[in-house]
């Protein structure tokens, strides 16, 4: 079996995590010219747009275990490729977080205690939102993300515009949910930074696996009911 799909997913998730989390860690709060919440939201969205055009034809550009599982639940992805896709995505996110740590720690005053773009709830939520609020937010945002993804990549959707719709959806998701959970909707993206922060970030990581995976499956199942994919189209598999 060709490894190109998995390498593409590793590279793509590396880019999403490094660009997105890097914008939060390095650029968001920079004195006077910090990019803020809107800038971080755009960075995450643009990382998906750019990678979708770069590797979409190779792997489908999932970059996210919740997307992979959701597409499988929606009948768009083979069950046998779920595990290798997720492994590649998590490895990409860890590699990105390692590089981000190397770079960010080169600045005076760097402090992992500030969060390193980790996701959290309760005391570690940016807005101090409780566990239930954070769980619901992650489920709903991931569910809607999958509905957009499946609709934009449907065989009857306008050709060539899927990356823009998906990237803009991720921007919107971040604009809404950064104050609540620092926005995950992606277990791989959450895992990378959490491994470096340790402690509370590892302890709360379960939510940022469970909630997005539930949301992904819900989104996939709902869209499959709304509009079945034309026979023979399997998302994320390179055409022969």
Instruction: Of 220, 212, 229, give the one whose Cα is nearest residue 74.
Output: 220
Local confidence band at 38 (pLDDT 50, 70, 90 cut-offs): very high
Could you report the per-residue pLDDT of 78-94, keeping only the tens digit for each? 999 999 999 999 999 99
Report the C-alpha gap between 216 and 4 in whole angstroms. 24
pLDDT higher at 2 or 44: 44
Average pLDDT score over residue span 48-67:
97
pLDDT of residue 143: 98
All structural domains of the chain: 4-226 (1.20.1080.10)
Instruction: Of 215, 193, 219, give the one whose Cα is nearest residue 16.
Output: 193
Average pLDDT score over residue span 18-24:
97
Instruction: Of 59, 91, 54, give the one whose Cα is nearest residue 77.
Output: 59
Report the C-alpha gap between 65 and 131 in whole angstroms. 22
Average pLDDT score over residue span 205-219:
98
Local confidence band at 176 (pLDDT 50, 70, 90 cut-offs): very high
Q: Are 158 and 106 in contact (CB under 8 A)?
A: no
* SS3 letters across 117-186: CCCCCHHHCCCCCCHHHHHHHHHHHHHHHHHHHHHHCCCCCCCCCHHHHHHHHHHHHHHHHHHHHCCCCC
Could you report the per-residue pLDDT of 107-141, keeping only the tens digit for each? 998 999 889 999 999 999 999 999 999 999 999 99
Q: Are 41 and 185 in contact (CB under 8 A)?
A: no
Instruction: Say whether 75 sits in a helix, a strand or coil.
Output: coil
pLDDT of residue 31: 77
Local confidence band at 230 (pLDDT 50, 70, 90 cut-offs): low
Q: Is 234 exposed, middle or buried (0-12, 13-18, 19+ CB in 10 A)?
A: middle
Average pLDDT score over residue span 97-105:
97
Tokens of 232: 């023979």
pLDDT of residue 152: 95
Mean pLDDT score of the chain, rounded to an integer? Answer: 93
Instruction: Of 28, 48, 26, 33, give the one whose Cα is nearest residue 99.
Output: 26
pLDDT of residue 229: 65
Report the C-alpha gap between 206 and 210 in whole angstroms. 6
Could you report the per-residue pLDDT of 141-173, keeping only the tens digit for each? 999 999 999 999 998 888 889 999 999 999 999
Average pLDDT score over residue span 39-51:
97
Tokens of 137: 């937010």
């Amino acid at each position: 079996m060709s490894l190109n799909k998995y390498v593409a997913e590793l590279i793509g998730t590396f880019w999403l995590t490094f660009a997105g989390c890097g914008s939060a860690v390095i650029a968001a709060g920079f004195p006077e010219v910090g990019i803020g919440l809107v800038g971080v939201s755009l960075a995450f969205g643009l990382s998906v747009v750019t990678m979708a055009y770069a590797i979409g034809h190779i792997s489908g550009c999932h970059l996210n275990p919740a997307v992979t599982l959701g597409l499988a639940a929606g009948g768009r992805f083979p069950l046998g490729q779920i595990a290798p896709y997720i492994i590649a995505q998590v490895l990409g996110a860890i590699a990105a977080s390692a590089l981000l740590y190397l770079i960010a720690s080169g600045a005076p005053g760097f402090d992992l205690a500030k969060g390193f773009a980790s996701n959290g709830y309760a005391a570690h939520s940016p807005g101090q939102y409780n566990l239930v609020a954070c769980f619901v937010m992650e489920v709903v945002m991931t569910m809607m993300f999958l509905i957009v993804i499946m609709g934009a990549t449907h065989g009857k959707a306008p050709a060539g515009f899927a990356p823009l719709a998906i990237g803009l959806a991720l921007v919107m998701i971040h604009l809404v949910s950064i104050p609540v959970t620092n926005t995950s909707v992606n277990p791989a993206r959450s895992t990378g930074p959490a491994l470096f922060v340790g402690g509370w970030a590892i302890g709360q990581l379960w939510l940022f696996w469970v909630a997005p995976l539930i949301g992904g499956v819900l989104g996939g199942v709902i869209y499959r009911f709304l509009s079945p994919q034309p026979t023979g189209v399997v998302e994320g598999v390179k055409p022969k």
